[in-house]
Chains A and B, each alone.
Chain A
């Protein structure tokens, strides 16, 4: 049933995906990474994407973030059509609206924490001060450290600060705790939750960790490129209460 993604009908969605497919052709073989996805996401939502490895989560997130374009179907961010858009359009979209957090942090090794954040705030319209963004993730005292001088969790929190410093409309996180231990992972989740709550940023988090799903407004299950279930949490758990 295709309309599963649609909920909370009264509000207009931020993202609208209709019949989205992504096909990778490798010689003879066709891989359908996404296979007819219909999905709406709403302002201020905290959404968790769950699914097995290879199910198409990253592909979906990359399309939402304007890093990739679908092979078929339509993707809308408000009134911007992302499907079939030119590289320039997608760049502008990412620059103005999206914040990313990745599993492997992707910090610039030759820049300090503050500079990694400044890199983004320099091109943003109404950014926070880099120091403030680092303060939000609890790293106010490490602003002049280079990535190589920070732990994995600290690096990931710098990445979050970098993502939120420009006050993005959406925050897209691909396995942000994948490379972290339990305690550090929790700190990262707290940072995400705080941003979502205080700034009202629409947040999508990919994870393999079903426990994290408890802090979401909605949990979307994906399997073999299809949406297979959506559940809403009546009560969101605080990150501090999670355990895995």
Chain B
């Protein structure tokens, strides 16, 4: 049997005696490691799955849409320098009837070659079979849509294609790299029940849409090192006369954007959150070791006197830190792997990719462990250095008694206000100001984490409230295939259940100011629009003036535009006019990069009379279903969106996910706060054991003594909570800037509910761990304290 060296046995016994402290440290370290493992793992999983998917299924790099171009243009596109592959196709949005689902559903029909697979954006078949060559009624259904409606191969659908009802047969369920994240054309939020992707044979779709030998969408893959911008420019020129609306690269492809946003967010979270936890763990390790070294001062002296080297003594204490960190990181890795698997499940609901699964890579585990041990060592080293610095002879003498000073407040003359117990407590805090400050900071961070965790939900709800509830008041949005004249309002108003119809125009355009430009949409709104209002983040309605344009703040930032700037609109539809328009106002909206104009002003820009592409309807709820039936049959209607239904389904999904992440966050933040308070209280108990026992001897009750013991932690927590709320708000403000994309900017809104929740939880966690320590006051040995000389 191997006999452990005596010094290591001392280590094991010390650790056993200090198990409470060490468990608290290990738990905080475990939270840090777990978030590292989870977020790093999620990041790796997304990045690998995406790279693999994009490569194997040949995800395109450039995308363009036109009205109708002859296929003879395709060879010319292929000849553009830098283009490696071209796939032309037909893409068309239709209203679909799903048996058993009354509401209108919009589907994006995408053509696939009749023979062989698409050259780009190939399909990943999840179940069923691929389309039979030249089939006329077979479709493949996107997984998200199939899952929302429980569609299986063999299911039947019907769609109004080009004004004719067509029966469709589902033969397989599939995904495409183009639709990893499925989101509707008019919608900003995913709604798997009301929006889906269907793939259909080219010939069948050509026939249905009268598009023989034509295409309306083309996607490209570029050669390595190709000039992307140059290719897009040439492609735009080639397609200009076919009603193109401007080509774009992957960075404007919505599915890619959403996926990329998530990847970036995981990367940031995977760095910031573990850093917070591990920094606190380092601080706790430091406190525990400092206390241990004070307690073992004489032992260190004896060890050194008997010839143990400084190295051996220092290593002895470092081992304790390393062992704790290893225990914490082992727990953290296990926890992280479990949470990571859960996160991957959530991802699979939103991001449809094969091989998207959480894998615990060896780099991840080693990285997390190394970071955790390094953090512990960074806390332990200064403490160990202190043990080294003790000359043996001095170490064996007891530490000189602590010197106390009158408090700052006392020096100011407020002494009468404080009880002796309060003064004791304040002087203890004042004597170790750095430790107090760091404790406050650590508890504050726990509080801040909770604020930040809830902020996502607050910001989202605020976005929805401002932009989709205050700004939009429709029950149903209808999109037309072709612009319609003013009589469309009457036509719509005559539909069953419609109490009010408001039509508007949306045209694609490139907006330019100086050398900056952005592809976006221009809205032509009626004067005093009721259903589509332009509302800013403070809920003020912005009136769209009869001339000039109101632009989203996001667009203003991209263009560096200010009120009064004159922007150039390059209309990407119809006669493709280029016009200069002054910016009348800028509207701070959370989502979007839009240009709003009065409908007449836009008509002047377009050189047309009043024409409408979309309409908002207010509907009598009792007659909704009747209206749905009518709308599905109308050949001019390309898509129908139900605002509230979409919002609700989205918010429900998000709320469910938030519930998961919030629960985890609560656990972690509470562990952080509890760990800091527990450790602080345990160390205070150890430092003041003699004092507290003396107080008990003098007749103070356990409760009174506990109050004195925990007073310090209570004070620190009381200072930390408001500070944490402020820090949390600060982090939110920073996050707003950090995660802002061109099209989306979180409103900086933190609700009172979030503040209450964060402070309440931190206070509860602190109180609970305080209570655990207070329990130990019971075990103070009143007689033993009389035998020690302080």
Q: Which of B605-634 contact A (CB under 8 A)?
A: none
Assuming A103-B786, A111-B424, A179-B789, what are 9 further A-B pairs, CB within 8 angstroms?
Answer: A65-B697, A91-B700, A92-B699, A106-B697, A106-B790, A110-B424, A119-B695, A122-B420, A162-B698
Segment of B158-166, B357-365, B401-409, B466-474 in the binding face: B401-409
Q: Is A60 an interface residue (CB 8 A)?
A: no
Q: Is B152 an interface residue (CB 8 A)?
A: no
Inter-chain contact A94/B698, CB cutoff 8 Å: yes
Inter-chain contact B419/A122, CB cutoff 8 Å: yes
Inter-chain contact A120/B698, CB cutoff 8 Å: yes
Residue of B424, B699, B782, B788 near A98 (CB, 8 A) is B699
Inter-chain contact A119/B786, CB cutoff 8 Å: no
Determine the residue in chain B with the shortest Cβ distance to A119. Answer: B420
Task: Tell me, in angstroms, the Cα distance from A95 to B697 when the chains sit together.
Answer: 8
**A111 neighbours in B (Cβ, 8 Å):** 420, 423-424, 427
Inter-chain contact A106/B421, CB cutoff 8 Å: no
Q: List 14 A-B contacts (CB under 8 A).
A: A67-B697, A68-B782, A104-B788, A106-B786, A107-B694, A108-B694, A109-B691, A110-B402, A111-B420, A111-B423, A119-B698, A122-B420, A123-B699, A148-B404
Given known contacts A115-B420, A146-B403, A67 and B699 CB-to-CB distance under 8 angstroms = no
Determine the residue in chain A with the shortest Cβ distance to B403. Answer: A148
Inter-chain contact A96/B420, CB cutoff 8 Å: no
Q: How far is the CB of A53 from chain B (nearest CB, A)?
A: 12
Inter-chain contact A67/B420, CB cutoff 8 Å: no
**B788 neighbours in A (Cβ, 8 Å):** 104
Residue of B696, B699, B702, B790 near A109 (CB, 8 A) is B790
Q: Which of B683-707 contact A (CB under 8 A)?
A: 690-691, 694-702, 704
Determine the residue in chain A with the shortest Cβ distance to B788. Answer: A104
| Bitwise interface map of A from 203 to 228 toward B, beta carbon under 8 Å scored 1, else 0 | 00000000000000000000000000
Q: How far is the CB of B443 from chain A (nearest CB, A)?
A: 23
Task: Tell me, in angstroms, the Cα distance from A162 to B264 when the chains sit together.
Answer: 65
**B427 neighbours in A (Cβ, 8 Å):** 110-111
Inter-chain contact B698/A100, CB cutoff 8 Å: yes
Q: How far is the CB of B692 from chain A (nearest CB, A)?
A: 10
Q: How far is the CB of B238 from chain A (nearest CB, A)?
A: 84
**B412 neighbours in A (Cβ, 8 Å):** none
Q: How far is the CB of A150 from chain B (nearest CB, A)?
A: 11
Inter-chain contact A67/B421, CB cutoff 8 Å: no
Determine the residue in chain A with the shortest Cβ distance to B419. Answer: A122
Task: Tell me, in angstroms, the Cα distance from A107 to B783 when the chains sit together.
Answer: 15
Determine the residue in chain B with the shortest Cβ distance to A166. Answer: B699
Task: Tell me, in angstroms, the Cα distance from A120 to B697 when the chains sit together.
Answer: 11
Task: Tell me, in angstroms, the Cα distance from A107 to B785 when the chains sit together.
Answer: 12
**A77 neighbours in B (Cβ, 8 Å):** none
Determine the residue in chain B with the shortest Cβ distance to A146. Answer: B404
Residue of B424, B428, B783 near A67 (CB, 8 A) is B783
Given known contacts A102-B786, A119-B420, A110 and B698 CB-to-CB distance under 8 angstroms = no
Residue of B431, B690, B702 near A91 (CB, 8 A) is B702
Q: How many residues of B contact A (CB 8 A)?
A: 32
**B404 neighbours in A (Cβ, 8 Å):** 109-110, 146, 148
Kindly list the 7 A-B residue pairs having the minimum CB-CB distance in the complex, ordered from nearest.
A95-B699, A94-B699, A115-B420, A110-B427, A106-B694, A119-B420, A110-B404
Determine the residue in chain B with the shortest Cβ distance to A124. Answer: B699
**A98 neighbours in B (Cβ, 8 Å):** 699
Inter-chain contact A96/B789, CB cutoff 8 Å: no
Inter-chain contact A104/B420, CB cutoff 8 Å: no
Q: How far is the CB of A144 from chain B (nearest CB, A)?
A: 8
Q: Which of B309-340 contact A (CB under 8 A)?
A: none
**B696 neighbours in A (Cβ, 8 Å):** 91
Q: How far is the CB of B410 from chain A (nearest CB, A)?
A: 10
Inter-chain contact B699/A148, CB cutoff 8 Å: no
Inter-chain contact A95/B789, CB cutoff 8 Å: no
Task: Tell me, in angstroms, the Cα distance from A229 to B786 when the chains sit together.
Answer: 27
Q: Which of A75-111 contact B (CB under 8 A)?
A: 87-88, 91-92, 94-96, 98, 100, 102-104, 106-111
Inter-chain contact A88/B701, CB cutoff 8 Å: yes
Inter-chain contact A174/B701, CB cutoff 8 Å: no
Inter-chain contact A91/B401, CB cutoff 8 Å: no
Determine the residue in chain A with the shortest Cβ distance to B693. Answer: A106
**B701 neighbours in A (Cβ, 8 Å):** 88, 91, 95
Inter-chain contact B428/A110, CB cutoff 8 Å: yes
**B406 neighbours in A (Cβ, 8 Å):** 112, 144
| Bitwise interface map of A from 60 to 75 toward B, beta carbon under 8 Å scored 1, else 0 | 0010010110000000
Q: How far is the CB of A71 from chain B (nearest CB, A)?
A: 14
Inter-chain contact B699/A104, CB cutoff 8 Å: no
Q: How far is the CB of B716 from chain A (nearest CB, A)?
A: 17
Q: Is A147 an interface residue (CB 8 A)?
A: yes
**B403 neighbours in A (Cβ, 8 Å):** 146, 148
Task: Tell me, in angstroms, the Cα distance from A80 to B690 when the chains sit together.
Answer: 28
Q: Is A58 an interface residue (CB 8 A)?
A: yes
Q: Is A118 an interface residue (CB 8 A)?
A: yes
**B697 neighbours in A (Cβ, 8 Å):** 65, 67, 94, 100, 106
Determine the residue in chain B with the shortest Cβ distance to A97. Answer: B699
Task: Tell me, in angstroms, the Cα distance from A72 to B637 when the chains sit together.
Answer: 97
Determine the residue in chain A with the shortest Cβ distance to B782. Answer: A67
Determine the residue in chain B with the shortest Cβ distance to A59. Answer: B783
Q: Which of B427-474 contact A (CB under 8 A)?
A: 427-428, 431
Task: Tell me, in angstroms, the Cα distance from A98 to B696 when the chains sit together.
Answer: 12
Task: Tell me, in angstroms, the Cα distance from A92 to B703 when the chains sit together.
Answer: 13
Q: How far is the CB of A83 from chain B (nearest CB, A)?
A: 16
Determine the residue in chain A with the shortest Cβ distance to B700. Answer: A123
Q: How far is the CB of B99 from chain A (nearest CB, A)?
A: 75
Q: How far is the CB of A127 from chain B (nearest CB, A)?
A: 12
Inter-chain contact A91/B699, CB cutoff 8 Å: yes
> Of B401, B428, B782, which is in contact with the most chain A CB atoms at under 10 Å from its CB?
B782
Task: Tell me, in angstroms, the Cα distance from A87 to B701 when the chains sit together.
Answer: 9
**A104 neighbours in B (Cβ, 8 Å):** 786, 788-790
Residue of A58, A88, A116 near B786 (CB, 8 A) is A58
Inter-chain contact B699/A115, CB cutoff 8 Å: no
Task: Tell me, in angstroms, the Cα distance from A174 to B696 when the chains sit together.
Answer: 17
Determine the residue in chain B with the shortest Cβ distance to A96. Answer: B699
